[in-house]
Amino acid sequence: MDSLDEKERSWSQGRARAYAVLAVVGAVWMIGLVMDWYLRFAWFRWQQRLVFRPTSVRTMAQPPDLYVTNWLPERRGGDLTRLVGLQSFSERFEQVRPAGQQIVDGAGFRNLPAPPDLAHPIVVVGDSFMAAGEPMTNMFPLRLAELSGLPVYNRAMAGVGPFLSLVRFVDSDRFKNRRPRIMVWGFIEREAVRHGFSGMVYQLDIRDRGVKPAEQYELSATATRVVWPELAPQTLKQSLPDTSVLAQFSYRLWSRLRYALFGMITPDVYVSSGEVEGHRLLFLRRKMKVYAVDTQELNLADVTDAVRYTSEFLARRGVRLVVVLIPDKESVYRELMPAHEQQAPALPLSSLDDLETHIRAEGVPVVNLLPTFRERAKRGELLYWADDTHWNERGIQLAAEETWKVVADLLHENEGKLPP
Amino acid sequence: MLFNSYEFLFLFLPLVLLGYYGLLLQKRLRLPFLTVASYLFYGWWDYRFCSLMLISTLIDYVAGKRIGASGDKRIRRRWLTLSIVSNLSLLGFFKYFDLAARTLNHAFSFFGAAEPFIPLLHIVLPVGISFYTFQSMSYSLDIYLGAAKPARSFTDFACYVALYPQLIAGPIVRYRDLAAQLVERTHTLAKFSLGITFFVLGLAKKVILADGVAPLVAPAFEQAAPGVFTAWTGLLAYAMQIYFDFSGYSDMAIGLGLMLGFRMPQNFNSPYKAVSITDFWRRWHISLSSWLRDYLYIPLGGSRLGPGRTYVNLFLTMLLGGLWHGANWTFVLWGGYHGVLLALERASGKRGLMPRAPLAMRRAATFLLVLFGWVLFRAGSLAQVAAMFRGLFGLNGPGGLIRAQIDATPLPYLLLLVTLAMAFAARNTWEIKWKNSWGLALFLAGLFIVCVATILVNTSSPFLYFQF
């Protein structure tokens, strides 16, 4: 401790420079601190998650039949090139999305204008695979509508996963007043993990037991309050990439440095070893990690139970559930993975075939897209965007055709049995 | 929360410093404020852990008071026993219960028991419990030994136990070293600047160097048959990781202490420059080795009871010291290994095992012995220890690359060279005789920016799910 005394004494001498470290490091720290927190609130609107205001809760009343048309300009690049974040690298993979119009209905879903009292016999729920398309004409629900000649309502929600979309629809007035005959529910392979399904069953079970969902959601929602869990370490950490300028800046800087110095991109993305229709594909490694490390996550029995429960829940309300199993790009083009990715030990080709068998055994209609997609892929067809995790126009068309085969049979066999 | 986290650097620390210097001009409010802040800091992991720390604090506070107030040796002894037994029970239950249960079950199954004899509780280890129970115990021990007086108030003592800079990873500041500072300490700009210097250097050691070489460690220790190159780089990287991680954390703690006016003892003194294992333990985790010396080795009799007993005492102290590091028999083995080496050195006399060898050779030999010790320390099981030693001696062949190595940039290898050079050739944080200057200030600011950026990159891999 004498040593500290000595250091302190020597630092107290030389008046002019005594504050140097404090001044400079302190200033840097303060600037970073103030700027990051200011932008977190002013720009990223983090306060909307941190502070709960009852008025900000969306009411579940019937939305006005109001359609908004947005014109989207031509765009390049997909979620994978954005994840890489390097212009010079991404250029080689980027594909062009043509300009087009995007119509959103009053409830925020992408649907074409229709009379307010039109009944849709088919409703599509799910995630961005089902909800979105580039441009709007390349959307799964629209393709299904073309094939079937029936109005198809798009209730899928991009960005929140496939479970919330289904639960929210069950809560909606549309479900109560204009109940569909068929509900097409699609989810991607990497989402077929146990916890998401269990959460959904819990939510449906509450409704089955007659507890009003609104009360569940808003039990303590009568006053403005701080949502303290948003400050919990894990949540705060997860929010950083979306709400911190410093985090975003650091990530981009490191991406550039890594590429400039070592010629490497983020380990979350890798490049296919071959080409499809003249394109090299980008793959997402996250999926591989999930399967290789955590096979427990994918508990087929639990997932199947949840699907059966959901199907029964809907059947009691006169709705037939059709499950669409969407394969990951990595499963479809497995042969194009680099050798060390392919040899990952004990990795099943895909879980979808097993899942299909299980779900079929429960008597739930299911569309497994994997075999068709694999077959087309082997013929050299590109079914996904090269620069994105999502499927392209041809993938959507193929999925709609396969789905329609199953849905057509159901409509035919249930003719007259279900309410119109 | 960890010092190298966004929430500490950009939320907790600024608020605490603001409260400490800005809002609390009333000096007597400062210790209570620090205590509350430290409990918040600790409760960030799990608020339930706070009650454990409070219990430990309460028991030692009462015991210390009684020991101090009584002149009767028996009463003093009784209260000391209570303090030690309760602290060790807390530590024993939360840290070692499952290990003991597993070991006993194993032993019973050996004698033919079909069912597990004792159920495992799968207890979550409260962070830092090894540190604060030892620290809290040192209070009653110091009062018993006459090295300190009972604390002025409960708040003083609670603040000493919980003080966030050293709460979770040391240094284990003994009560006698901090007692006077709890009552009276100075706050100067020089001290604060020095604190910043220590903190930033410690942060850089942890975030840039220790975390930088970390990707090399797992591929070596987690393979069934690591090749000779992987095994040696992995082991060297681990030696550097643990040193820069731990000493970096100690430097940060000392720096944060200085910012609040506290002076804490040095915890590391270039341990890899040691010329013998005895020397190594004078340089590695000094606060723990001196704690064990003063409160375990000396009460056991130290070197006063003849050479045979001295070796036993050394061995026992190190064995228990090993166990303190974690609930696994590999740690005990590691402690025993060092105990044997210390006893051997003691037996060979004061001049060590290789008195005539050149300095560099003695250093190299000591480092090699320490490295072999780290294999025991890092490996999760005896099977892994065996696999690693086979790899080190080339019995697994050259070995292949695994995914973690394919994904890695060459940066960890470069950093490994840097850390080796720093550990063997450079001065340590305490030896550097920098003057407070604009040049140093700019250097530290740059280092701080790099550290923050690194922390943010490491903790914020983009969350892709929001796009689905």
DSSP character string of A23-87: HHHHHHHHHHHHHHHHHHHHTS-THHHHEE-GGGSPP-SPPP---EEEEEPPEE--HHHHHH--H
Q: In this predicted model, what pLDDT tens digit does every residue of A361-388 receive, in sequence order? A: 999 999 999 999 999 999 999 999 999 9
Q: Range with the lowest mean pLDDT among A220-224, B245-249, B310-314?
A: A220-224
Least Cα distance to A336 among A374, A302, A366, A305 occurs for A374
Instruction: Tell me whether B263 touches chain A (CB under 8 Å).
Output: yes
Q: How confident is the model at residue B223, as a pLDDT?
A: 81
> SS3 for chain B, per residue?
CCCCCHHHHHHHHHHHHHHHHHHCCCHHHHHHHHHHHHHHHHHCCCHHHHHHHHHHHHHHHHHHHHHHHCCCHHHHHHHHHHHHHHHHHHHHHHHHHHHHHHHHHHHHHHCCCCCCCCCCCCCCCCCCHHHHHHHHHHHHHHHHHCCCCCCCCHHHHHHHHHCHHHHCCCCCCCHHHHHHHHHCCCCCHHHHHHHHHHHHHHHHHHHHHHHHHHHHHHHHHCCCCCCHHHHHHHHHHHHHHHHHHHHHHHHHHHHHHHHCCCCCCCCCCCHHHCCCHHHHHHHCCHHHHHHHHHHHHCCCCCCCCCHHHHHHHHHHHHHHHHHHCCCCHHHHHHHHHHHHHHHHHHHCCCCCCCCCCCHHHHHHHHHHHHHHHHHHHHCCCHHHHHHHHHHHCCCCCCCCCCHHHHHCCCHHHHHHHHHHHHHHHCCCCCCCCCCCCHHHHHHHHHHHHHHHHHHHHHHCCCCHHHHC
Q: How confident is the model at residue A58, as a pLDDT?
A: 46
Q: How confident is the model at residue A420, as a pLDDT?
A: 42
Q: Which of A24, A129, A262 sits opposite B410 (nearest CB)?
A: A262
Report whether pLDDT(B68) > 80: yes
Domain boundaries, chain B: 6-184, 191-276+353-459
Q: Which residues contact A168 (CB under 8 A, 6 or more apart)?
A: A155, A157
Q: How confident is the model at residue A367, as a pLDDT?
A: 94
Q: Residue A2 CB: number of other CB atoms within 10 A?
A: 7
pLDDT averaged over every residue in chain B: 86
d(CA A13, CA B436): 9
d(CA B3, CA B246): 12
The predicted model gives B445-454 an average pLDDT of 92
Least Cα distance to A160 among A198, A187, A193, A180 occurs for A187
- Assess contact for A250 and B18: CB atoms under 8 A: no
A258/B410 CB distance under 8 A? no
Give A226's strand partners. A51
Report whether pLDDT(A123) > 50: yes
Report whether pLDDT(A220) > 50: no
Give A182's strand partners. A122, A320
Instruction: Tell me whether A86 touches chain B (CB under 8 Å).
Output: no
**Which positions 161-180 of A are in contact with B (Cβ < 8 Å)?**
161
Q: In this predicted model, what pLDDT tens digit does every residue of B120-159 receive, in sequence order? A: 777 777 778 888 888 888 899 989 988 888 888 899 899 9
Least Cα distance to A104 among A138, A70, A137 occurs for A70
Single-letter residue type at A135 = P
Q: Which of A7, A233, A344 sits opposite B7 (nearest CB)?
A: A233
Q: How confident is the model at residue A293, as a pLDDT?
A: 35
Q: In this predicted model, what pLDDT tens digit does every residue of A395-418 receive, in sequence order? A: 999 999 999 999 998 888 766 554
The predicted model gives A186-205 an average pLDDT of 81
**Which positions 359-418 of B are in contact with A (Cβ < 8 Å)?**
403, 406-407, 409-411
d(CA B326, CA B333): 11
Least Cα distance to B450 among A239, A241, A32 occurs for A32
Least Cα distance to B193 among A15, A34, A35 occurs for A15
A161/B465 CB distance under 8 A? yes
The predicted model gives A27-44 an average pLDDT of 90
CA distance A19 to chain B (A): 7
Q: Which of B6, B192, B430 sits opposite A22 (nearest CB)?
A: B192
Q: Tell me the two tokens of residue B52.
A: 């454990």
Where does residue B203 rank: exposed (0-12), middle (13-18), buried (19+ CB within 10 A)? buried
The predicted model gives A143-149 an average pLDDT of 92
Domain boundaries, chain A: 21-52+232-264, 54-58+69-223+269-413
d(CA B230, CA B404): 12
The predicted model gives A4-28 an average pLDDT of 76
CA distance A261 to chain B (A): 9
Q: In this predicted model, what pLDDT tens digit does every residue of B263-318 receive, in sequence order? A: 998 999 999 999 889 899 999 999 999 989 988 888 888 888 888 888 888 899 99
Instruction: Tell me whether B177 touches chain A (CB under 8 Å).
Output: yes
The predicted model gives B425-435 an average pLDDT of 81
Half-sphere exposure of A292 (CA within 13 A, CB side): 12
Q: Which of A8, A9, A21 sits opposite B444 (nearest CB)?
A: A21
Q: Range with the lowest mean pLDDT among A44-48, A279-283, B136-140?
A: A44-48
H/E run at residue A2: helix A2-12
Instruction: Tell me whether A18 touches chain B (CB under 8 Å).
Output: yes
Is residue A391 helix, strand or coil?
Answer: strand
CATH of A54-58+69-223+269-413, one of 3.40.50.1110, 3.40.50.150, 3.40.720.10, 3.60.20.10: 3.40.50.1110
User: Is residue B325 annotated as part of the catalytic site, yes or no?
Assistant: yes
Is residue A273 helix, strand or coil?
Answer: strand
Instruction: Tell me whether B10 touches chain A (CB under 8 Å).
Output: yes
Question: Which residue of B1, B17, B254, B456 is the best one to mutate when testing the A interface, meaning the one whose CB has the most A CBs within 10 A?
Answer: B456
Q: How confident is the model at residue B39, as a pLDDT?
A: 93
